[in-house]
Structure 1
Amino acid sequence: MHEHIAEAVKEPDVVTVPPGAVCLRFETMKLYSALGAVRHLLDTGQVKPGDTLIDSSSGIYAHALALACHRYGLKCHIVGSTTVDRTLRVQLEILGATLEQVRPSKNLRLDQNLRVERIGELLRENPGYHWMRQYHDSIHYLGYRDVADLIGKEVPEGPLALVGGVGTGASTGAIATYLREAGRDVTLVGVQPFGSVTFGAEHVLDPDMIIAGIGSSIPFQNVRHELYDRIHWVNFDYAMSGAVELLRASGIFAGLSAGAAYLATLWERERDDSRTYVFLAADTGHRYVDSAYAQHGQALGLGAMRPHEVTEQHELRHPWSTMDWPPSDSALLRGEPLLVPGAV
């Protein structure tokens, strides 16, 4: 029996998806991140019950942090993207969290910059608030050890390929880290939207692809680039088509990042079927009904979608590009840090 709904909701469904892939379908994946981080903060005395935790979110993390705060008796304030819908706003209000949304914007860069600026203002006005820094602090890796343990139990022994959104790096990066520490042979495949700076695609814009959870217009300091073996950049049309095909093929109703991860999984498995492929569906598809699923009549079939294989970022182009990581001209190979990993 669970002591709180957060513990029950966080657990994913482990589903076989033909041909030969496994989907971890979460309702709110970032509950692992939020619960693990909040427990650590309380255990180490950095916060205490009654304190206020704040952060920026496009939606998934807002729900996760609100539930974690409800679980442990903390206050929660979210600076949200315009993608936070009415269903989530009502839940946050009833849970006791407060939400303010930045003004509407047409691209990921402006949306994230506005939210970060507002966080800075709030901290100056309320120095007692604790900023969770989901984009920067490696504390968010901690909770994902449980996901790695689950994969270790549910997925047969042998080489794995883990596929999913990069986001802050505290999901795919963390899960792969713990699996590798346990001795598993893991290839890590990250999924990004065009326009994200995280792996150098800021010069190729996609204004329709506002999925802040898998890409960034600002440097995320807890992304550990050296953990990744392959990167896929997928635009809105292909991510939507992938999500529709995933629902049609398996019944899994998930977000756009899952659609992109599904495409990447199928392509990678075609290249190398010696591994078991595990891909992440970080959230359900409910908030994408109007913006994506309603366009299912325009979805492309799987056979029509193939990526451009590139070797350097300047070759990236719509609708789908992929490359080995690190590229030949990567700063990693020259020993230069791209971002500062770990807590800041």
Structure 2
Amino acid sequence: MVYGKKRPFLLGLVLLLVAACGQPAATQVPAQLPTAVVALSTPVVQPPAAPSAAPAATLPPAPTVVPSPTVAQSWRFVVLGDTRTEGLNPPDVTYAIVKQAAAAQPAIVLAVGDLINALSTPDEVRQQWQNWRAAVAPLGQAATTTPWLLPTPGNHDVQSGDWATGLLTEAFPELPANGPPGLERRAYSVDYGGVRFVSLDSEQRTQMHLLDDAQLAWLEAQLRDNPGHAAIVFSHDPAYPVGPHVGSSLDVYPKARDRLWALLKQYGAVYFAGHEHLYNHQIVDGAHQIIAGTSGSFVYGGFGGEFYHYVVGEVSANAITFVVYDQNGQERDRFTVP
């Protein structure tokens, strides 16, 4: 069985139900989930013309390097999916997941966008970010470095207007400004314990779902000049969506998406995304995509992976083992990437 495969004859009905109800699905998922291995195929969505952008003339500053364990020591990081605040605060399930995930004592925490559901005024959005940071603070108890909390922008984080993007970066002043010009603290890279973590901004309001030439040129430099060799790239949009966001993810611009994927494959990087409120792991043309899509937002039904979750990555000298847990702490999937 291929995990995460759509059910075409139910797809239209499911999409109507998701839009109308927005309720968690009750479908049971096996404790261990097989990984889907898929080959690339010709996109069926006709893309709009991608806005052109010239690569930056000079490279940005080097990635932030924080004190870290030696490669002989194992250590852990946690990945949270969409949490989407309910009003000013995260939903209750997010607090439960944070409590469970804190037991892993992560050194680094990735948050793959849609962390808040931005309200309509700057004062409200500032309060949402303050409350969100307080909610996830227990995950930093074992962290000995700054930054340890690495968010990437989601569409609901910046939906209220151009000013909301500024409030996102204002909320995380510790993030490095080493990304492409104009994307500082939204696209950035951080080195820790032999792993380079690279955030990409797929939610620029003038070109949603597009990783433009400048950002991809910057990414290539981060992957090529990487002394630790291992790399985790993360953004909000999946490159290969499996649920209701087919046609509203990186697949909107297949040429740019394919260039991203060629880089990930060439340098052996793993890609994390959110956006779709489900869990899914695919190996596409030899590169791993993990959709860690809900650590709080309502669960999409009918596409597989229908449970709240978080991911723990355990880094050893020669591999990273990924373990997926639900909100009750039950293991739901496990795989290792050399």
Instruction: Output the TM-score relative to the length of structure 2.
Output: 0.28
Q: Say which structure, 1 or 2, has more relative contact order (CA 8 Å, 6+ apart).
A: 2
Question: In proportion to residue count, which structure has more helix?
Answer: 1
Instruction: Output the TM-score relative to the length of structure 1.
Output: 0.28
